[in-house]
A and B are shown apart, each in its own frame.
Chain A
Amino acid sequence: MKSMNNQKKRDLILIGLLFILLGGTFVLFNMLAFKDDAALAHVYYGNSTDPIVSIDFTKQTVEKFYDQEVPATFTSTFPVIDENLQTITLLGDYTINGVRQIVVIQYNFERRSVQIIQEESPNNICSREGESTGWPLICLPNRIRVEFVTNQGDFTV
């Protein structure tokens, strides 16, 4: 029984320590990370280390770098960039009945933000990440992610 009590004591100390340590890290992280204005946002698909689309908030432009490989059953090419609605539509990896589903990303030049507004995935979890101005948006089931580049500068020239 004594060993049990010792163990219980250690458990509580462990939990307390972890709480402080991880809690502290979490709080610090939230205070320091992603506080600068975004200069660019890169959209990545799959394992590629090169972006497929880049959004430049300073120049207010959106650039596509390559087209996705899509099955012949699709009539259009992806990605599709709509400058009026300020959206980028990609074909995700998540399938419903074997058919790949689209992922729609909304960008906003004024607010320098990006949001995933439409996609199919378990519980539509990707579109619940909200509007991001710095932290990466990761949609694992579709293998699409959006990462921001902050130059830590007020402007880039």
Chain B
Amino acid sequence: MTLLANFLAIAIVLNIIESAIPVIPVPGAKLGFANVVTLIVLYVYTFKDSSILTISRVLLVSLLTGKLLGPVFYMSMAGAILAMLAMGFFKKLNFFGILGVSVLGSVFHCIGQVIGGYFVIGSTAIVLYLPIMLFLSIPAGVVTGLIAQRFLKIWETWNRDLQ
């Protein structure tokens, strides 16, 4: 439990840090680095754990930054949920490795944000940002995946050592 709590803390911090990186051209969009923790917890624990963690993370971050129920909150939540569902699904499929799952998660995170943005702003104008956001989500997903992969390797050795 405490480990999960630690993971949550890390996720929150990551989220806040990445908020400081403006994703031009869409104000409010994020690259999804906080998904690293979602991904790791998905592989180390269960899908259920990962979901709870992710949703808690989004809620807590918006509470902390004072943006609860603001437009940014809806975009983050939509993105995070879609990413989570996608990653859970593809992991279960066992067709791709962690890198693939991460990239797919990143792509769906992006789509989720756009959907969330559509409901907030009420116009399809935000769809026009999809091409660039989708394109950027690939390297973001690769980086996230590599970090998670590295972490999992270390985790495995660490776990074995503990045994």
Touch between chains A and B, by CB atoms below 8 Å: yes
Residues of A at under 8 Å CB distance from B? 3-4, 7-8, 10-12, 14-15, 18-19, 22-23, 25-26, 29-30, 33, 44, 46-49, 93, 121-123, 125-126, 128-129, 135-136, 138-141, 143, 145, 147
Report 26 cross-chain contacts, Cβ distance below 8 Å, ordered by A residue: A3-B94, A7-B95, A7-B97, A7-B100, A11-B98, A12-B99, A25-B134, A25-B135, A29-B131, A29-B132, A47-B121, A48-B122, A93-B70, A122-B28, A129-B27, A135-B128, A136-B126, A136-B128, A138-B117, A138-B121, A138-B129, A140-B27, A141-B71, A141-B72, A143-B121, A145-B121
Q: Digitize B97-133: 1 where CB-to-A-CB distance is under 8 Å, 0 elsewhere.
A: 1111001100100000000010011110110110110
B125 touches A22 (CB 8 A): no
Q: List residues of chain A with CB within 8 A of the CB of B107.
A: 18
Q: List residues of chain B with CB within 8 A of the CB of A122.
A: 19, 27-28, 65, 72
Residues of B at under 8 Å CB distance from A? 19-20, 22, 24-28, 65, 70-72, 75, 94-100, 103-104, 107, 117, 120-123, 125-126, 128-129, 131-132, 134-135, 138, 142, 145
Find the residue from A8, A11, A14, A25 having the highest chain B CB count within 10 A.
A11
User: How distant is B95 from chain A, measured CB to nearest CB, in Å?
Assistant: 6
A125–B18 Cα distance when bound, in Å, is 13
Given A44-B123, A125-B24, A145-B123 in contact, is the A140-B75 Cβ separation under 8 Å?
A: yes
Q: Is the interface of A mostly helix, strand, loop or mixed?
A: helix
B19 touches A140 (CB 8 A): no
Q: List residues of chain A with CB within 8 A of the CB of B94.
A: 3, 7
User: How distant is A130 from chain B, measured CB to nearest CB, in Å?
Assistant: 8
B120 touches A140 (CB 8 A): yes
A8 touches B71 (CB 8 A): no
A121 touches B27 (CB 8 A): yes
A88–B27 Cα distance when bound, in Å, is 20
Closest to A23 in B: B135
Q: List residues of chain B with CB within 8 A of the CB of A143.
A: 71, 120-121
A25–B125 Cα distance when bound, in Å, is 17
A8 touches B138 (CB 8 A): no
Q: List residues of chain B with CB within 8 A of the CB of A11.
A: 96-100, 103, 145
User: How distant is B39 from chain A, measured CB to nearest CB, in Å?
Assistant: 13
A125 touches B72 (CB 8 A): no
A139–B96 Cα distance when bound, in Å, is 37
A15 touches B100 (CB 8 A): yes
Q: List residues of chain A with CB within 8 A of the CB of B138.
A: 15, 18-19, 22
B24 touches A129 (CB 8 A): yes
A140 touches B135 (CB 8 A): no
Q: List residues of chain A with CB within 8 A of the CB of B120.
A: 140, 143
B96 touches A7 (CB 8 A): yes
A107–B99 Cα distance when bound, in Å, is 45
A138 touches B26 (CB 8 A): yes
Closest to B103 in A: A15
A122–B98 Cα distance when bound, in Å, is 32
